[in-house]
Amino acid sequence: MTQSICKIMLLLLAGSFACSSSRGQSCPDQAESVAVVRFVDAEAKAGIPLYAEQLPGLREAVISLTTRGLASALNADVPPVEFYRVVPASYELRGSKVVREAVQLDNGSEWIVAVNCQKARKLLLEGSREPLAAFNEMIKDLNLHVADAETALGVFDFFLQVTRGSRLRWGVVSDEMKLESVALDDFRLRFPETKRKAAFSAWWAGVPIAVRKALAPPKAAPLRNGFNLEYFSYSEGIVSAQSLTMSVDGTVAQGKPRILSSR
């Protein structure tokens, strides 16, 4: 049996699987992948074949954040959280055969799930109706201490990774060239080839010079019990100034965006 068929069969197995409760020990990869797929299907009402893959990069990011500032990370506890990315699958198993579904799927669909291996709890982050609340519930388990602006910016980037997805994270703009690059990519995807260049040129001409010059990388300013983060973002022709408050434990609250330039 090929490796790809094995992966597909894993998606469709029934039953639930518990994580190991030992701190620092990973969940069983294959069994937990099946449970994660079933969790997303129930939470998001996907109704389509799904595939889950573990994201070791996010786990490494969490380890980096939790050990930052320690004199030595050698004896630090490993956070009991694993991360999975869930996307639509091209195949599903019917009886004993693997078949290709002839349906139109939203190729942009993606979900990020955090699995707490101590508490056998799953939280839907990206793709959730309330990703901020899920993020805060997850971050409390990590026992973070956000003591400086550098750590706050690290938590902020992690927040974007697990709740906003790669496309919205890419939409954080730090200067005029990044804005132009992000907008060009957006217009290329949203407009037909015959119209995209003219549409972009008209939009770009309407972005005030003052707005372009005001763009800057995200920054964190200290507050009494945390930090205030300010950043600029682009989405479908709208440039806005955004803010986020972060407590010393890493929990966040979204501020009200201020639109600087619209379509």
User: 18 in a domain, yes or no?
Assistant: yes
Q: How far is 220 from 239, CA to CA, in rounded Å?
A: 20
pLDDT (0 to 100) of residue 23: 37
Q: Which spans in 121-163 are helix H? A: 131-140, 149-163
Contact 40, 46 (CB under 8 A): yes
Rounded to 5 degrees, what are φ and ψ at 253? Answer: -135, 130
Q: How far is CA 212 from the centre of its chain?
A: 27
Please identify, among 77, 109, 143, the residue that sits at the C-terminal boundary of a domain.
143
Q: How far is 22 from 80, CA to CA, in rounded Å?
A: 8
Residues 107 and 228 in one domain: no
Residues 26 and 89 in one domain: yes
Residue in 151, 134, 177 with CA at minimum distance from that of residue 250: 151
pLDDT in tens, the chain (263 residues): 444 434 433 343 333 333 433 334 445 566 788 889 889 988 888 777 888 999 999 999 988 888 875 555 555 677 788 999 998 887 665 556 665 554 544 456 889 999 988 888 999 999 999 999 999 999 998 888 899 999 999 999 999 999 987 777 889 999 999 999 999 999 999 999 999 999 999 999 999 999 999 999 999 999 999 999 999 999 999 999 999 999 999 999 999 999 999 87
Contact 114, 138 (CB under 8 A): yes
Residues 183 and 66 in one domain: no
Residues 61 and 131 in one domain: yes
- Grouping H, G, I as helix, E, B as strand and the rest as coil, residue 3 is helix
Model-level pTM greater than 0.85? no
Handedness of CA 212, 220, 69, 56 (dihedral sign): negative
- Structurally, the chain folds into a number of domains equal to 2
Residues 84 and 129 in one domain: yes
Domain that holds residue 256: 168-261
Ramachandran area for residue 92 (φ above 0: left; ψ -120 to 50: alpha; else beta): beta
User: 23 in a domain, yes or no?
Assistant: yes
- Name 231's bridge partners: 242
Residues 116 and 24 in one domain: yes
Contact 207, 173 (CB under 8 A): no
